[in-house]
Chains A and B, each alone.
Chain A
Amino acid sequence: MLFCLKGRKMKVENIGSKRLTLKLIIYIFTLSVFFTLIQSGVGLKKEYDDKIKRIDNSINIIEKNFLNKLAQTFWAMDELGLKIELNSLLGLPGVDYVEILEKNKTLLKMGKKYKHGIKNKYFDLKYKNVESEALLGKLYVQLSYFRIKKEVIHDILYVIVEEFIKYFVLTLVLLFVVQKLIMRHLVDMAEFVRGFQVENLDTPLILDKKINKNRPDVLDEVSLAINQMRKKLMIFIDQKNETQKEIQNLNKTLELKVELRTQLLTEKTDTVKDLLNNAAQGFLSFDKDFLIDGEYSVECEKLLGKDLRGKDISLLLFNKNEKKIDFFKETMMDALNEKNELTSSLMLSLLPTELIINKRAIVINYKILSNNNFMLILTNVTDKKKLQTKIKKEQNTLKMIISIIGDSLQFYETNESFKQFCKDSVLYINPTHSSDENANTLHALLHTFKGLFAQLYMINTTKRIHDIESKIIEFTENNEANITLKNLIESLELENSMDEDLKIIAQTLGENFLTEHNYIKIDEELINKLEGKILAFCSLSLEQKEECDNILYDIKKIKNKSLKYYLSIYPKLSHQLCLSLNKSIHPFEISGQNNIFVSAKFKPFINSLIHVFRNSCDHGIETKEVRNSLGKNGVGTIGCEFKLLDDNLYIDIYDDGKGIELNSLKSKIIQNNLSTQEELNSLSKDEIISFIFDSNLSTQESISHLSGRGVGLSCVKSELEKLNGSVSVETQLNKGTKFSFVMPFDE
């Protein structure tokens, strides 16, 4: 650093100071020469004038001092004396040549005679005494100015040289002084300032001189000022550095924050992505070109295929159905361009919400994003649909079973007539009628059957017949011959229409149920008449009473069925019900005597018991999870017992389910305005429970498909009352419920 500074110093000196020195020399020298010239000029002029005066004075001196003496000496003819006198004359300033003339003849001469620059002076040499005066001769004096001029010029040169040397030396001294006192310091300062750098700001400017602090000179002040400036700069730089540091720190903090935020955001995005990918829903977006964006959730690929980026969504959704594609695109764009949010959402609601794509049922939600892109949310509802279909099927089955049990006669009769119709179907084709007329007849008959089956909720049969109807209608449009109609009818295999439903019935109620109907078909009135006749006959011949009783028993068997038989459908039904509710119960059988026959008047009541079983399955038995959590066996129990005692028939139906919640029942009673809190408080538990038979009460929060609106138990009660029977309910929370029916029974 030092070296560097020195090097620079040298350089600066070389250039800057030289230039300044040169200027100084020129100024000082010019000035000194000017002054020298004036001074020496003036001096020389004075000297010259002096010398001229002295020469002039020499004439006066000659006139005053020498003329008389010379005249006397001349008078005395003293040659030696004259020579001495003349010699002394030559000693006078300016006198170069003297001559004594006697009548224009040179008598005596001394000195050197010049031709130029001279002044000639003639003096009369007169001898004087008291009385006379005599002219002896003349004195010729040559005064030479030439010598004076020469002297003056010599003087001038001398003076010039002297003055020049004097001023030159003075200049040098001055230069040295200036250099010593000012220049080098200035150069130092210049160098120092020039070398100002952030790194060496702490190096103060120190001049090569002592600083008098009490009486500082200009340089001191300048150097002090520079140092002050330096200090200020240092402080400023320090502050700046501080600020910079602060800013850097802030920046760092900010960077950290940004990083953290970015991380959080990334995490969030990842989480959202994760969520979306695991949502079992497809999320995708696309722009006005209907081309799918790169970002979509995993589920989309499952539903719509791989590599969806850039694919046309409308083609994926609607395959190649141009009409649907057009409507989709138009409506999307209309909704996008619609400013009114409500109208826009209504337009989107016109788009299909459920589509079958790749054999999957997909529910679609349409959204317009804030960036004017579209978003679709795809939900795979295939399983749900399947389950719904299954439940629907299950429901339909149960509806069918219940209606068939409730009106088995209708079932048997419809079944029988339809079978007959199937057998005879071809016979309805009357060759004398047109094929159209025949087809219409068949259609009308089929339509009637369809209605009958629909009443029995035999959905599959109804559907089959509906399809057959359509085919017959189609036939009438083609104007074909009767024989074609016959072929058609035969090909339709009408007799198979019921197969599916019959299979379900057989599975649920047992094969017997389908074959038993033969007994029922016997006209009951006829049997009654027969029975009357036998009774009348038996009363006539007492000896054949035993025989008669046997016949009567058989007739009763034909007319009345065993109670066990009637009730036997319920175990299977209960099992089925529980299955459809995702619950399970132990298989059970009706326990009771086989030989108790009930007349037709018991049928409505027995049929109504389905509501009790249904109630047990639906509200009584809990799901496996609930049962396990209560420490109960996961599989529930439902049972049914009956017995005959003292002309009374007892039927008990029980379950080990959750029992009837009294408080919930009470609030339900109040909610349905069946009673008030005060009234209920005064009632016994049994009395409160008896409200479950009220047709205006439903204890279940949601109306389940099985128990409907809770009119079931009221139906049981009303049927029971027709038989003059009564019911009691025992229930214990989480232990179970038992319905005990008792009614008079007259064999």
Chain B
Amino acid sequence: MNHNYQKDISGCGLTGLISKKRRRLSGDQIVKSLCLMNDRGNGLGAGYAAYGIYPEFKDFYAFHIMFDEPSIRWSVEEYLKANYHIEKVEEIPTFPVKAIQISPLLVRYFVRPLKERIVGEMQEEDFVVNSVMKVNSEIDGAYIFSSGKNMGAFKGVGNPADIAEFFRIEEYEGYIWTAHTRFPTNTPGWWGGAHPFTLLDWSIVHNGEISSYGINKRYLEMYGYKLTLLTDTEVAAYMLDLLIRRQGLDIPSACLVLAAPFWKNIDAKPPEEREFLTALRQTYGSALLNGPFSILFGHSNGLVGINDRIKLRPLVVAVKDDITYMASEESAIRAICPAPEKVWAPRAGEPTIVELDKEV
């Protein structure tokens, strides 16, 4: 049985930005924004995710893997070699930071699944998801913490500034950035527990505690997901993968599942919309994320910010030129964009959906 786990609880601060015109922005801005919210974390976890950072390898899945012991690396590589074409392997460049004494071995692989390994009706993405699940749940001490194309997550135990310096975040350039600082209350003090959480192109930073975790987890397990990271955030990431990629919901509909409207509001809608919203809740009741949260989720085509259905955690959005900012606090936005054209606090359950312009 799969119920005897210790769930991780944490409070946090988050921030993100997106350039609709796909202008690649250096990481220094997001670091500055996150560091302003130092008091929302306690130095036990911070992380960054960026899209558009590996243009030269954009057709390969970028696996970022952490190894508790260097020796574990070889069993993972054995598995990868058997299933993937490996275009490039390198240790993720880091910089020595005084505050970070101990770190796992961090390696990135640019890979493509071997065609002959994908059998039947399986999609390439399913294959990659299965690999991530397999390594993370079956190979002790190895963790694939990033598996998308032309994107990557960088995270660890430390405060936002130290983690940024350690991973040399300022050297990356991306058109979508998300970042997170963490205030865990019962952390295992483990690098894998920091945000963002990612799966394929999905990345999630999350502030909150999902009080419906138990059923969300069991629901996902019914569809073959293995929840190994013991945090709420993992649930959100996999839920989006299930709803959008595997079941074909569009992003607005998926948001209506995660933060479902109240029945009294659904009942007041015109018949067609009412029927649709009712069916969504009937079908996806177990996917409703109940309890306080604000979430930013990045994907290959955009960035979405969303609150829980009664807004129990903060989220502020601002726009300036082609850039949309989303953060826990307005000050974190103004730290890098002092004069936004528009600033607002989205209402409970109301998603802010920003899509990138089509690639030219």
A binds B: no
Question: Which residue numbers of B lie inside 8 Å of A, CB to CB?
Answer: none
Which residues of A pack against B, CB within 8 Å? none
